[in-house]
Structure 1
Amino acid sequence: MAVIELYEVSSDFDVLRFTSHQFDVLYKGLNWQSHVIERGGSIEQSDDPLRSDAAFEVAAGSPLANLALNPPLSTAPKVSILRSEDGGKTFFTVFAGRLMAGVWNDGFVAVELEAVHTELQVTGLKETVTPQCRFALGSRKCGVAEKPKAVTVKAVDGLVVTLTTALPMSYAFGKLRHNEGLHFIDRQVNATQLKLLHPASIPAGTKVTVFRGCDRSLECCHQRFNNAVNFGGSVNLPKKNPYVGDPIDR
């Protein structure tokens, strides 16, 4: 029987479902999209998926690769890996944890994972206090109900995407969704041009969806989203220790 593995990655309000199988897989009424994933035997043998270590590689340029290279700053995406050894009749969980980072590796992105057990062993504060907001845009603690906007691509020149529709100057650090791909917007050049963080192959005339971005400053939170009441940073945090004068590690 063929071995089938399913990969579920959840981040904020998005859930990505992929399978390393050569065909899409339908499981529990959900479609798991066939994807180029190389894992080998990196999941150690364990009866407890919360303790198992794991890692895998995914084709560069895919939504999963982009997420691994640009993970959210506030909360690490959750990852579950399910495995079937009877051709897809039954699945059992072999890994549960979170995505930590991604590293370029010759056309692939090596995805680094951390098991739930390892995560629970980490000591220290649950959240780090910083001058900038530590909440992800649209998360429960942020409270912003973000509505994406559908636009049409006029042209793509390197990293710069030109749109047919003018947008408010509020899309820097946002996202552009093309089909299943999610591209991060590095900055907004002007009302009709967005500069992406990584190159994207998007034909002219294609309809895409764009999401506003936040630079996590109090000014942006107030002026762009009118949401200063939920700002998650400490703008008055001192830069130096008032007792000894040493810089504060934030």
Structure 2
Amino acid sequence: MSETTLSELELYAFASTSAQFHLTPHEFDVDLDGTVYVSTPIERNALALGAEAAKSALELKLPPTCDLVRHLLAASLTGEATSITLRIARRGTWGDYWWVSGTRWMGRVLGVEVADDGARVRCESAQVSLKRIGLRRLYSRTCSHVLYSAACGASPITASAIVSNSTGRSVDLDGGVPGSVSGGLAGGWLQTPEGARHMIVNDYGGGVELLYPVAIEAGTEVLLTVGCDHSTATCESRFGNLENFGGFPFIPTKNPFSGTPIF
């Protein structure tokens, strides 16, 4: 639908500590008081109407190559939160400008899943977030700390490399994966000179496999950061950080909650 025939628009604003994105699902960019909302193919679920409308969950579908998707995937590694506000804009009296008539939905991004047909972004309402019980410590054998966070305390293990070629999710490195990080990059990330971080799911002799396709020019110097599987063995052998291990590896396998009839 053309700009001249529309009387109402949807405007999406995503904000985090390191970046902001302004998008609109319509076929044209929208300039609102100097802020440009970029035209992007966005699909969303139907939001409930009535008293519970503000509590409805929001699910979006975007192109997997969208800059916002890349940012959300990188933010999932660092724990950086991203808020989202869906506003409604209406055409001015004379039809020559747009103005915000109200806010349709507010909340935060819970996660993003990338598939061949698109990226699905799950969002939670601000009202639901405020009423949720606070986070509690996980009772699990594996460590619950975010790698390299203050609670983890491990020192990052990194190495630089030069990209020789990138195809889809595979990034080949000149001279292969550096020996100091070889075999330990799963769960870590590749960082470009611009600061973008891309999660690594596997490393092989000649390069690394990323979580999602990324186009990186040959000759680009990247920083590879080692990952962790959150086990005691890796915590000790790779990082020498067992004193800060955040799991409970000695949970007994036989307990009242395991289904044993007689304990």
Whether TM-score is above 0.5 comes out as yes
Structure 1 residue 59 displacement after superposition: 0.8
1:7 is aligned with what amino acid? Answer: A
Q: How does 1:128-167 map to 2 (within 5 A)?
A: 128-144=138-154, 146=156, 150-156=160-166, 159-164=169-174, 166-167=177-178
1:59 is aligned with what amino acid? Answer: P
**Distance change (3 Å), C-alpha of 1:133 and 1:99:** same
Q: Secondary structure of the residue that 1:225 maps to in structure 2? A: coil
Query: Could you say which residue in structure 2 is the equivalent of 1:99?
Result: 110
Query: Could you say which residue in structure 1 is the equivalent of 2:202?
Result: 187
Query: Could you say which residue in structure 1 is the equivalent of 2:259?
Result: 246
Q: Secondary structure of the residue that 1:203 maps to in structure 2? A: coil
Q: Which protein is bigger by CA-based radius of gyration? A: 2
**Distance change (3 Å), C-alpha of 1:164 and 1:101:** closer
Query: Could you say which residue in structure 1 is the equivalent of 2:120?
Result: 110
Query: Could you say which residue in structure 2 is the equivalent of 1:54?
Result: 58
Unaligned runs of 5+ in 2: 1-6, 91-97
**Distance change (3 Å), C-alpha of 1:204 and 1:102:** same
Residue 8 of structure 1 pairs with residue 11 of structure 2? no
Unaligned runs of 5+ in 1: none
TM-score by length of structure 2 reads 0.66
Identical pairs, percent: 23
Q: Deviations over 1:66-109 (max 9, x none)?
A: 576798499694432253627478996831234145364x6322
Q: Deviations over 1:97-132 (max 9, x none)?
A: 34145364x632222222233345556973431111
Structure 1 residue 174 displacement after superposition: 0.9
Query: Could you say which residue in structure 2 is the equivalent of 1:200?
Result: 214
Contact preservation (8 Å) 1:159, 1:199: yes
Q: Secondary structure of the residue that 1:102 maps to in structure 2? A: strand
Contact preservation (8 Å) 1:171, 1:212: yes
Q: How does 1:166-185 map to 2 (within 5 A)?
A: 166-167=177-178, 168-169=180-181, 170-178=184-192, 182-185=197-200
**Distance change (3 Å), C-alpha of 1:52 and 1:24:** same
Residue 224 of structure 1 pairs with residue 228 of structure 2? no
Q: CA–CA distance in 2 between the matches of 1:35 and 1:216?
A: 40
Question: What RMSD, in angstroms, separates the aligned Cα atoms of the two structures?
Answer: 4.4
Contact preservation (8 Å) 2:110, 2:122: yes
**Distance change (3 Å), C-alpha of 1:18 and 1:74:** closer
**Distance change (3 Å), C-alpha of 1:49 and 1:114:** same
Structure 1 residue 193 displacement after superposition: 1.9
Q: Deviations over 1:146-176 (max 9, x none)?
A: 4865532012355432222652223221112
Q: How does 1:22-41 map to 2 (within 5 A)?
A: 34=38, 36-39=40-43
Query: Could you say which residue in structure 2 is the equivalent of 1:234?
Result: 248
1:97 is aligned with what amino acid? Answer: R
